[in-house]
Amino acid sequence: MVDRISMPETSGAPPRASAPKLLDRVREAIRTRHYSRRTETAYVAWIRRFIVFHGKRHPRELGSPAVTAFVSSLAARGVSASTQNQALSAVLFLFEVVLGQRVGWMDEIVRAQRPVRVPVVHSRQEVSSLLSQLRGPVWLMASLMYGAGLRLLECAELRVKDISFDRGELRIRDGKGRKDRVTVLPASSKQPLLDHLQRVKAQHEADLKAGRGSVALPDLLRLKYPNAPFEWTWQWVFPATRFYVDRATGEHRRHHLHESVLQRAVKDAARAAGIAVPATCHSLRHSFATHLLEAGHDIRTIQELLGHRDVSTTMIYTHVLNQGARGVRSPLDQLGPGTGRS
C-alpha cells in the first residue's frame, strides 16, 4: 500500500516505528496551509498515482525525468491541460513542501498551456426562461448564482450568518483562493430567501429537539466555539434533506445540498426551456458579469463582486458583450439593401 511509505527522521538514521506515513505527511502539510478539502483530496490522489506509476518507489529516489514521464503519460491519455497542471502541482508540492527538496529542475518543467476559451453567456431572455423552469431551493440557488455572481460551491456553502438583508449583501467566506468578499443580494431574492430561511429554521429546531442539528465548521473553530455547530447562524442556507454521521464525533449532521443536485436541475431546466447553447451553473455567473458590463458598471467593481484576483480575468467579458464581435459592424451590413439574394 502506498500509504505505508514512511520517511526516516534523517537520511542516515533508520526509520522509527512511529514515523508518519508519507501520505499522512502530505495531508498534514496541506491542512497546515489551510488548503481546501478538495485540494487535499486531489493532491493525495495524484501523489498516490505518481508513486504507483513508478512502481511504488519512494519519491526520494525520483527526480525530474520521473515527474516529466508521469505528466507526459497523462497528456498521452488525452487528459486536459488544467488536469495535467493540477497533477504537476501536487507532485511538486510533495517534493518541495513535504520532502523539502527545492531543486533547480522544478523551474524547468513546462506546464501545459491551457486554451483560452470565450465564456458561454446567456441573454436575459434565456436566463429568465431557464429560471422559470425551476422550483424550490434549486430555483433560489440558481437565482443567486445569476443575481450575485456566485460560483456553484460558494452558493452551496452559504451560511445563515453570511446574509445581510439590511445591507443587501452576501458575504462569501473562503472563496476561490481562500479569499473573502462581499457581493450583492438581489432585492427580488430577499423575500423568497426570508421565506426559505423560515422553513429551514423550523427544520433546524426540529433537529435540535431530536438530539441532532449540528453542522460542520471550518478549520478548528469547533475547538474555540464548542456550541457553534448547533447555533442557527452557522447553519447552511441550503441544507441537505438527509443526515450523515460524522466519523470523528459520531454526530448526525446535515451537509449542504450537494452541488450535483443543482447542476442536474440547471441542465434539465435549460433543456426544457429550449436553450441551444450549453447552460451550466457557471454560465449563470458569466451572464451576471456580462450583463453588468452591458448596463455600464465599472469593470473594477465587477472584478470585486466576482472575486477575481486580476482584472485581466474580468476583461474577458468585454469580448462577449451584446454588441457583436468586439462591437464591430460587419461591412456586409454597410452595403445597403438589395445586395443579397434570399
By annotation, the residues acting in catalysis are 151, 176, 282, 285, 308, 317
Q: Can you tell me which residue has the cell 448564482?
A: 145
- The three-state secondary structure class of 330 is coil
Q: Which residue has the cell 441532532?
A: 212
CA dist list (Å): 125 to 61, 140, 274, 297: 59, 18, 12, 20
Q: How far apart are CA 181 and CA 170, in angstroms?
A: 8
At 224, give phi and psi (nearest 5°): -80, -40
DSSP string of 241-299, one letter each residue: EEEEE-TTT--EEEEEPPHHHHHHHHHHHHHHHT--S---HHHHHHHHHHHHHHTT--H
Q: What is the CA radius of gyration of the chain?
A: 25
The CB-based long-range contact list for 117-120 (8 Å cut-off, 24+ gap) reads 118/316, 118/319, 118/320, 119/283, 119/286, 119/290, 119/316, 119/317, 119/320, 120/277, 120/278, 120/279, 120/280, 120/283, 120/286
What the block records as the C-alpha cell of 252 is 448526525
Q: Is 51 left (phi over 0), alpha (psi -120 to 50) or beta?
A: alpha
d(CA 22, CA 97): 12
CA distance 106 to 103: 6
Burial class for 285, CB neighbours closer than 10 Å (0-12, 13-18, 19+): buried
Rounded Cα–Cα distance for residues 285 and 1 (Å): 42
Which residue do the cell numbers 465548521 mark?
Answer: 217
